[in-house]
Amino acid sequence: MSILDGEYFKISFAREFVEGPSTRRSFAVPMVSFCDIRLTQLEEHTNSYGSYGIGLTKEWADRKKMNPVIYMNKNNPSFDYYNNSLRILRKELKQSKEKLKREPKLSAKMKENYAKLKKHYYEIREPLRYMKNYQGKLERKGKAPISNYIFANEREWRYLPDIIDNGHEFSIVQTTSIKDSKDEYNKKFEGVHLDFNHEDVKYIIVKNEKDIYQITDFLRRKYNDNPNVILHKILSMESVSNDM
Full DSSP string of 187-228: HTTTT-EEE--GGGEEEEEESSHHHHHHHHHHHHHHTTT-TH
Helix, coil or strand: residue 239: helix
Regarding beta strands 234-236 and 201-206, do their DSSP bridges make them parallel or antiparallel, or are they unpaired? Answer: parallel
Position 167 scores a pLDDT of 59
Q: Are 173 and 15 in contact (CB under 8 A)?
A: no
For the chain, the straight-line distance linking the first and the last C-alpha, in angstroms and rounded, comes to 26
Position 164 scores a pLDDT of 65
> pLDDT under 70 in the chain at which residues?
104, 106, 164-169, 179, 240-244
Report the C-alpha dihedral over residues 80, 84, 86, 89, rounded to 10 degrees: -170
Position 110 scores a pLDDT of 80
Position 170 scores a pLDDT of 74
Give, to the nearest 10 degrees, the angle between helix 108-125 and helix 78-102. 150
Q: Are 43 and 244 in contact (CB under 8 A)?
A: yes
